[in-house]
Every structure is written in structure tokens, then in C-alpha cells.
Chains A and B, each alone.
Chain A
Amino acid sequence: MSLLKQVQSLVAKDLALEWRSKNAINSIVLYLVSTVFVCYQAFESVDTLVWNALFWIILLFASINAISRSFVQESQYRQLYYYSIASPKAIILSKIIYNIILMVFLSIVAYVIYSIIFKNPVGDPLLYFFAVLLGSISFATVFTMVSGISSKTGNNSTIMAILAFPVIIPLLILLLKLSSNALKGLDRASSEREIITLLAINVITVTISLLLFPYLWRD
């Protein structure tokens, strides 16, 4: 089977597994709703700066929770089976694609819920939405590899957070800047540099993941 075929069937497998149990989606959506609601109870009304920061913090924690399980939800034996029938590149690529799909869905849900509960002050909604999409893709590409690394250690959730935060902060700085530009409704040309840098980082991250994962999975 070619790489593309393998990736296709692995992503389809992940989606089917998720569709049957709906476990991850439901729990993360519930997590999102309750976090937004807790924040609403705590803040009641926020100015635009806090609105933006709060949204990204909520999304960050939700995505860490969602993605940290991407390599541990299936048993060791089943993973061994996958490794024997598919190439490691196909496995990491399929996980990245699956996580991107998951994260795009989750971030859209988060954006809608957040906009309903808090008032939406965005000046350029299309650009903000684009920033949210770009952010969810960035979270997915970075966290997939980190969750692969942390799944090799025993105590998963702490290590995941420790490893993921320093790596995601540069991306988060760019995302915050891009989204606050959108929030203020600035001219779109002024956020061009952030978008290009973010896309470049994503490409680099995926390439490095592809190169490094073959060393990671064999035990």
C-alpha cells in the first residue's frame, strides 16, 4: 500500500472509532462548555483584550486535553499491530490529520459557544475565524508529536503539559497578535507576516515530526 492509501485508511479508522464511541468529542465539548461557563461566572463582562486572551487559554487547555490521548487511547498490542502493517510516517501523518479534523471541529464549537455566552466584539470576523482555524491546526501539529513523546513516559498528563507549553508559546504569541489584529478590525495586510510565519512553523513542525517519528515509535 502506498503512503497516501495507508494514511487514508488510518484516518478513516480513527474517525470511525471516534464516531462509534463519541467519547472524546463529547467529553471535550462538555469540558469546553463548562470552562466557558465557569469563566463567565468569574468575569461576567470582559474588555476586548481579556476576551481574546481568555478564548485562547480555554482553547489551549481544551486542545491539550483532547490531543494528549491520541497515542494512549488504544492498547499497546493494537499499536504494535499498526506498526507492523503501516509505515511510521503514515501513522504520524494520519494522527496529525485526525487531530487537525478534531481540533477544527472543537475550535469552531468553542468559538460559537464563547461568542454566544460572552458578547462577540470582533471587528473582522472572517480574519478572526481564519486565526481560529490556523490556531487549531497549529495546536494539532505541535501537540501530536509532543503527545507521542509523552506517551512513552508513564505519568502522561503532567509530562504532556510540561513538554507542550514551552513549544506552543511562540505560536501562541503569534496567534494572539493575529487575532487581536482581527479583533481591532485592522487592515488585513498588516497581519500578513504573522500568517506566513505561522504557516512556515506548521510546515517545519510536520516535516520534523515525519523525520523523527520513526525513531520514536520503535521500542
Chain B
Amino acid sequence: MRKNWWKILAAVFVSASVIGGFMGPVPVLPILNETIRNVYFHVPMWFTMITLYLISVIYSIKYLSSGKPEHDLIAVESVNTGIIFCFLGLLTGMQWANITWGAPWPNDPKLNGSAIATLMYLAYLVLRNALDEEQKRARISAVYNIFAFPILVVLIYILPKMTDSLHPGSGGNSNFSEIDMDNYMRPVFYTAVVGWILTGVWISTLRYRIRLLENKANKID
């Protein structure tokens, strides 16, 4: 129980944000209308994805310095879970964009950036498949993971700020929190973010433990 408190917290926070997100009052804004509630679901997906990729890079660095196969497993399972959250983020975003901007895929630097980031991590998985020997696979994919990460940061944080974007907070648009988020929305939003990040980490630890068990079973044979 002592170790599981954060899993309970994740479940409580996610359900609280779902209930609070659908039932609570939202500011009435033109165009956005009720779709503003999507901010509770769309934005946390990206935060979770970035957190998972960050965990993956940290464990790739740890793997290079320690050589423990467990670290490599954590890195790859974080990427696997991160890709799921990336697709969820794209899905919720495309729905939202279809309603507010009129097309599911407008030419927006954040959209393109996230799509390219997905390509980067899919390439990471392809690279892993191309290498047979386990230690070599772990080491070389860790190198690629670390090599790609700073460019990912440029892609997601620096480039959108330099160009015009439909997203808030970039290219001269004002931030969400400045105009739209009133005092009721903010706590719900942060609850959702924390809840989803914890859920993402939980999923990846589950996957990691399954992989550990599989490895154990394979060694007995």
C-alpha cells in the first residue's frame, strides 16, 4: 500500500478531472464554445508523452553508463507508452481542430512537429528491430535516443515559438492561461495533467514488469 499511493492518486485525479471537466462551468467563448473542455484531455496527453520520452532518455543515459538491461527495458517501454499517448493527443487534437479551425490537419508547426516526433520514435523502434544481438541493440538504440532528443526539444518547443501557429502561446498568440482559463478551469486542468502523467508512468511500469517476467520465463527454458 505504501508504494501504491500514487496509482490511487492517478485514478482519483483522472476520474476527478473527467467529472469536473464535463460537469463544471466553462467560460462562454466564441468558436470554442463547449469544446474548450477538450483542453482537459488534449493537452495532458502531450504533457504525458513528453514526460515519458524524458524518462526514456534518462534511462538511455543510465543504460550507457551502467549497462544494466533493466534500464534499456524501461527506456523502450516508456517510448512504447509515449507513442500511444502521442496518438491519443493527435486524435483529440484532430477532432478539436476539425470543429474550431475547420480542418483536421491545418498546416500548423505544432501539429507537424508532433507528427515528426512520432516518426522519430517509430524510427527508434524500427532501429531496435533491425538489430538482433541484445546488448548491441540496447546500446545503439540508446545512442540514437539520446542523439534525437535535443532535436525533438527544438522541434516541439523552439520552432513553434518562431513561426505563426494556431495554437495558443506561440507566434504572437496569447497564452491559454492569460485569457481563457478562469479560476475554475485551472485546478481541473492541473489535476488532469498530473493524473494523466501518473497514469502514463503506471502503464509503462506495468509493461516493464511484464517484460521482466517474460525475460525470466525465457531464461528458464
In the assembled complex, the CB of B56 is this many whole angstroms from the nearest CB of chain A, namely 15
Q: Which of A154, A170, A174 meets B130, CB within 8 Å?
A: A154
Interchain CB contact under 8 A, A149 and B123? no
Q: How many A-B residue pairs have CB under 8 A?
A: 78
Interchain CB contact under 8 A, A201 and B154? yes
B6 contacts partner chain A, Cβ-Cβ < 8 Å: no
Interchain CB contact under 8 A, B127 and A153? yes
Interchain CB contact under 8 A, B159 and A170? yes
Chain A residues within an 8 Å CB radius of B120? 166-167
A43 contacts partner chain B, Cβ-Cβ < 8 Å: no
Give chain B interface residues in 137-154, CB to chain A under 8 Å: 139-140, 142-144, 146-148, 150-151, 154
Query: In whole angstroms, what is the CA distance A169 to B151 when docked?
Result: 9
Interchain CB contact under 8 A, B143 and A212? yes
Classify the secondary structure of A's interface with B: helix
Query: In whole angstroms, what is the CA distance A198 to B67 when docked?
Result: 34
How many chain B residues have a CB neighbour from A under 8 Å? 29
Q: CB-nearest residue of chain A relative to B149?
A: A208
Chain B residues within an 8 Å CB radius of A201? 150-151, 154
B88 contacts partner chain A, Cβ-Cβ < 8 Å: no
The segment from A31-39, A78-86, A157-165 that touches chain B is A157-165
B116 contacts partner chain A, Cβ-Cβ < 8 Å: yes
Chain A residues within an 8 Å CB radius of B139? 215-216
Interchain CB contact under 8 A, A208 and B150? yes
Q: Which of A153, A174, A204, A216 meets B150, CB within 8 Å?
A: A204
Q: CB-nearest residue of chain A relative to B65?
A: A215
Query: In whole angstroms, what is the CA distance A197 to B148 when docked?
Result: 16
Query: In whole angstroms, what is the CA distance A193 to B154 when docked?
Result: 13
Chain B residues within an 8 Å CB radius of A145? 147
The 5 tightest CB contacts between A and B, nearest first, are A166-B120, A166-B119, A153-B130, A170-B155, A162-B123
